[in-house]
Amino acid sequence: MNQIVTIQHRQAVTTSLKVADIFGKKHKSVLQAIERLSADLPEKDRRNFKPVSYLDTMNRQQSIYEITRDGFSLLAMGFTGKRALLFKLQFIESFNKMEAALLNQLNLSWQEQRAESKTARRVATDTIARFCDYAAGQGSTHARMYFQNITKMTHKALFLVKQASPQPFRDMLDGMQLAFLTTAEYLIQQALEDGMTAALHYRDVYTLARQRVEHYAAQLPQQRLLMAGNG
Protein backbone atom coordinates (compact mmCIF):
# COMPACT_ATOMS: atom_id res chain seq x y z
CA MET A 1 0.00 0.00 0.00
CA ASN A 2 3.00 2.32 0.39
CA GLN A 3 3.24 2.49 -3.40
CA ILE A 4 -0.34 3.57 -4.02
CA VAL A 5 0.80 7.17 -4.39
CA THR A 6 4.16 8.38 -5.72
CA ILE A 7 5.73 11.75 -6.44
CA GLN A 8 5.98 12.71 -10.10
CA HIS A 9 6.87 16.18 -11.40
CA ARG A 10 6.70 17.59 -7.84
CA GLN A 11 3.16 16.33 -7.38
CA ALA A 12 1.61 13.39 -5.54
CA VAL A 13 -0.11 11.07 -8.03
CA THR A 14 -1.53 7.59 -8.34
CA THR A 15 -2.26 5.68 -11.56
CA SER A 16 -5.27 4.12 -13.20
CA LEU A 17 -3.54 0.73 -12.90
CA LYS A 18 -3.14 1.08 -9.14
CA VAL A 19 -6.76 2.16 -8.81
CA ALA A 20 -7.82 -0.93 -10.76
CA ASP A 21 -5.63 -3.24 -8.65
CA ILE A 22 -6.75 -1.89 -5.28
CA PHE A 23 -10.45 -1.63 -6.08
CA GLY A 24 -10.50 -5.01 -7.82
CA LYS A 25 -11.56 -3.65 -11.21
CA LYS A 26 -10.38 -4.36 -14.73
CA HIS A 27 -7.92 -1.73 -15.86
CA LYS A 28 -9.85 -1.34 -19.10
CA SER A 29 -12.95 -0.43 -17.08
CA VAL A 30 -11.06 2.21 -15.10
CA LEU A 31 -9.66 3.69 -18.33
CA GLN A 32 -13.18 3.87 -19.77
CA ALA A 33 -14.47 5.52 -16.59
CA ILE A 34 -11.71 8.15 -16.80
CA GLU A 35 -12.44 8.81 -20.46
CA ARG A 36 -16.17 9.22 -19.80
CA LEU A 37 -15.44 11.51 -16.87
CA SER A 38 -12.89 13.58 -18.81
CA ALA A 39 -15.35 14.13 -21.66
CA ASP A 40 -17.61 16.10 -19.28
CA LEU A 41 -14.87 18.05 -17.49
CA PRO A 42 -13.57 21.55 -18.27
CA GLU A 43 -10.09 21.59 -19.80
CA LYS A 44 -8.40 22.69 -16.55
CA ASP A 45 -9.85 19.68 -14.69
CA ARG A 46 -8.86 17.19 -17.39
CA ARG A 47 -5.27 17.90 -16.41
CA ASN A 48 -5.89 15.79 -13.31
CA PHE A 49 -5.72 12.77 -15.62
CA LYS A 50 -2.45 12.62 -17.55
CA PRO A 51 -2.15 9.91 -20.25
CA VAL A 52 1.21 8.12 -20.08
CA SER A 53 2.44 4.59 -20.85
CA TYR A 54 4.32 1.75 -19.18
CA LEU A 55 5.86 -1.59 -20.11
CA ASP A 56 4.01 -4.65 -18.83
CA THR A 57 5.61 -7.93 -17.77
CA MET A 58 5.78 -9.02 -21.42
CA ASN A 59 7.59 -5.80 -22.38
CA ARG A 60 4.56 -4.43 -24.18
CA GLN A 61 3.72 -0.73 -24.05
CA GLN A 62 0.38 -0.14 -22.34
CA SER A 63 -1.73 2.98 -21.84
CA ILE A 64 -2.20 4.33 -18.34
CA TYR A 65 -3.24 7.55 -16.59
CA GLU A 66 -1.41 9.43 -13.85
CA ILE A 67 -4.07 10.77 -11.49
CA THR A 68 -3.81 13.67 -9.03
CA ARG A 69 -5.58 13.80 -5.68
CA ASP A 70 -8.41 15.85 -7.22
CA GLY A 71 -8.64 13.45 -10.14
CA PHE A 72 -8.85 10.47 -7.80
CA SER A 73 -11.59 12.19 -5.79
CA LEU A 74 -13.65 12.73 -8.94
CA LEU A 75 -13.07 9.19 -10.18
CA ALA A 76 -13.73 7.51 -6.83
CA MET A 77 -17.12 9.20 -6.48
CA GLY A 78 -18.48 6.40 -8.64
CA PHE A 79 -17.03 3.64 -6.43
CA THR A 80 -19.58 2.65 -3.78
CA GLY A 81 -19.87 0.09 -1.01
CA LYS A 82 -18.14 -0.60 2.31
CA ARG A 83 -14.98 -2.07 0.76
CA ALA A 84 -14.72 0.84 -1.66
CA LEU A 85 -14.93 3.26 1.27
CA LEU A 86 -12.02 1.53 3.00
CA PHE A 87 -9.94 1.68 -0.18
CA LYS A 88 -10.74 5.38 -0.59
CA LEU A 89 -9.50 6.04 2.94
CA GLN A 90 -6.28 4.16 2.18
CA PHE A 91 -5.73 6.27 -0.93
CA ILE A 92 -6.38 9.48 1.01
CA GLU A 93 -3.92 8.45 3.73
CA SER A 94 -1.30 7.64 1.11
CA PHE A 95 -1.84 10.98 -0.65
CA ASN A 96 -1.47 12.78 2.70
CA LYS A 97 1.83 11.03 3.46
CA MET A 98 3.31 11.68 0.02
CA GLU A 99 2.25 15.33 0.00
CA ALA A 100 3.80 15.80 3.45
CA ALA A 101 7.03 14.22 2.18
CA LEU A 102 6.94 16.46 -0.91
CA LEU A 103 6.43 19.58 1.22
CA ASN A 104 9.44 18.63 3.35
CA GLN A 105 11.50 18.07 0.20
CA LEU A 106 10.49 21.46 -1.20
CA ASN A 107 11.28 23.16 2.11
CA LEU A 108 14.80 21.72 2.08
CA SER A 109 15.24 22.82 -1.53
CA TRP A 110 13.98 26.31 -0.65
CA GLN A 111 16.46 26.60 2.23
CA GLU A 112 19.30 25.75 -0.14
CA GLN A 113 18.05 28.33 -2.65
CA ARG A 114 17.74 30.93 0.11
CA ALA A 115 21.32 30.35 1.26
CA GLU A 116 22.57 30.63 -2.33
CA SER A 117 20.53 33.81 -2.78
CA LYS A 118 22.13 35.38 0.31
CA THR A 119 25.59 34.62 -1.05
CA ALA A 120 24.75 36.09 -4.46
CA ARG A 121 23.31 39.21 -2.83
CA ARG A 122 26.45 39.76 -0.74
CA VAL A 123 28.67 39.46 -3.81
CA ALA A 124 26.42 41.79 -5.82
CA THR A 125 26.28 44.31 -2.96
CA ASP A 126 30.07 44.40 -2.70
CA THR A 127 30.32 45.03 -6.44
CA ILE A 128 27.63 47.72 -6.35
CA ALA A 129 29.53 49.46 -3.54
CA ARG A 130 32.65 49.55 -5.71
CA PHE A 131 30.55 50.77 -8.63
CA CYS A 132 29.20 53.62 -6.47
CA ASP A 133 32.78 54.68 -5.72
CA TYR A 134 33.55 54.35 -9.44
CA ALA A 135 30.59 56.59 -10.34
CA ALA A 136 31.52 59.12 -7.67
CA GLY A 137 35.05 59.21 -9.06
CA GLN A 138 33.60 60.14 -12.46
CA GLY A 139 31.62 63.01 -10.99
CA SER A 140 28.27 61.47 -9.99
CA THR A 141 26.74 63.48 -7.14
CA HIS A 142 24.21 60.79 -6.25
CA ALA A 143 26.34 57.68 -6.66
CA ARG A 144 25.03 55.96 -3.51
CA MET A 145 21.54 55.96 -5.04
CA TYR A 146 22.70 53.14 -7.32
CA PHE A 147 22.12 50.66 -4.48
CA GLN A 148 18.41 51.46 -4.61
CA ASN A 149 18.25 52.05 -8.37
CA ILE A 150 19.84 48.71 -9.27
CA THR A 151 17.55 46.81 -6.88
CA LYS A 152 14.46 48.53 -8.32
CA MET A 153 15.65 47.89 -11.87
CA THR A 154 16.16 44.17 -11.14
CA HIS A 155 12.77 43.72 -9.48
CA LYS A 156 11.03 45.58 -12.29
CA ALA A 157 12.67 43.40 -14.93
CA LEU A 158 11.60 40.24 -13.08
CA PHE A 159 8.10 41.58 -12.33
CA LEU A 160 8.78 41.51 -8.59
CA VAL A 161 6.60 43.97 -6.71
CA LYS A 162 7.58 45.18 -3.24
CA GLN A 163 4.87 46.06 -0.74
CA ALA A 164 4.79 46.47 3.04
CA SER A 165 5.15 43.17 4.87
CA PRO A 166 6.57 42.03 8.23
CA GLN A 167 8.56 39.34 6.42
CA PRO A 168 11.90 39.92 4.66
CA PHE A 169 11.30 40.21 0.93
CA ARG A 170 13.28 37.13 -0.09
CA ASP A 171 11.52 34.96 2.47
CA MET A 172 8.31 35.59 0.51
CA LEU A 173 9.71 34.13 -2.72
CA ASP A 174 9.45 30.48 -3.71
CA GLY A 175 12.41 28.41 -4.88
CA MET A 176 12.00 29.27 -8.57
CA GLN A 177 11.69 32.98 -7.85
CA LEU A 178 14.81 32.88 -5.69
CA ALA A 179 16.68 31.11 -8.48
CA PHE A 180 15.65 33.79 -11.00
CA LEU A 181 16.66 36.59 -8.65
CA THR A 182 20.00 34.93 -7.83
CA THR A 183 20.83 34.60 -11.52
CA ALA A 184 19.83 38.21 -12.21
CA GLU A 185 22.08 39.47 -9.41
CA TYR A 186 24.95 37.40 -10.73
CA LEU A 187 24.45 38.99 -14.17
CA ILE A 188 24.43 42.46 -12.59
CA GLN A 189 27.64 41.76 -10.71
CA GLN A 190 29.33 40.53 -13.91
CA ALA A 191 28.06 43.49 -15.96
CA LEU A 192 29.32 46.03 -13.44
CA GLU A 193 32.69 44.29 -13.31
CA ASP A 194 32.91 44.20 -17.12
CA GLY A 195 31.93 47.85 -17.48
CA MET A 196 34.37 49.10 -14.88
CA THR A 197 37.18 46.98 -16.32
CA ALA A 198 36.47 48.49 -19.73
CA ALA A 199 36.56 52.00 -18.15
CA LEU A 200 33.09 52.86 -19.46
CA HIS A 201 31.25 55.92 -18.24
CA TYR A 202 29.28 55.02 -15.11
CA ARG A 203 25.93 55.64 -16.84
CA ASP A 204 26.95 53.23 -19.61
CA VAL A 205 27.97 50.64 -17.01
CA TYR A 206 24.53 50.88 -15.43
CA THR A 207 22.90 50.60 -18.86
CA LEU A 208 24.93 47.46 -19.58
CA ALA A 209 23.73 45.87 -16.33
CA ARG A 210 20.11 46.79 -17.05
CA GLN A 211 20.26 45.42 -20.61
CA ARG A 212 21.67 42.07 -19.45
CA VAL A 213 19.03 41.66 -16.77
CA GLU A 214 16.19 42.64 -19.11
CA HIS A 215 17.46 40.24 -21.78
CA TYR A 216 17.54 37.44 -19.19
CA ALA A 217 14.08 38.31 -17.84
CA ALA A 218 12.60 38.27 -21.35
CA GLN A 219 13.49 34.58 -21.63
CA LEU A 220 11.67 33.56 -18.44
CA PRO A 221 8.16 32.02 -18.33
CA GLN A 222 5.42 34.60 -18.69
CA GLN A 223 3.65 33.73 -15.39
CA ARG A 224 6.68 34.88 -13.46
CA LEU A 225 7.13 36.57 -10.17
CA LEU A 226 4.40 38.82 -8.83
CA MET A 227 5.22 38.95 -5.11
CA ALA A 228 5.09 41.23 -2.08
CA GLY A 229 7.80 42.00 0.44
CA ASN A 230 9.76 44.69 2.15
CA GLY A 231 13.51 44.42 1.71
Q: What is the pLDDT of residue 94?
A: 81
**Mean pLDDT score of the chain, rounded to an integer?**
83
Residue 227 contacts residue 161 (beta carbons within 8 Å): yes
Residues 80-106 have pLDDT tens digits of 888 888 888 888 888 887 777 776 666
Those residues with Cβ within 8 angstroms of residue 212's Cβ, 6 or more apart along the chain or in another chain = 187, 188, 190, 191
Please, are residues 166 and 229 in contact by the beta-carbon 8 Å criterion?
Answer: no
The predicted pLDDT at position 167 comes to 60
SS3 at position 12: strand
Q: pLDDT tens digits for 160-189? A: 755 544 567 777 777 777 788 888 999 999
Helix axes 175-197, 82-137, angle to 10 degrees: 20
For residue 205, pLDDT beyond 90: yes
pTM to 2 decimal places: 0.52
Segment 8-33 shows an average pLDDT of: 88
pLDDT of 23 above 70:
yes
Q: Do residues 161 and 226 lie in contact, with contact meaning Cβ atoms separated by under 8 Å?
A: yes
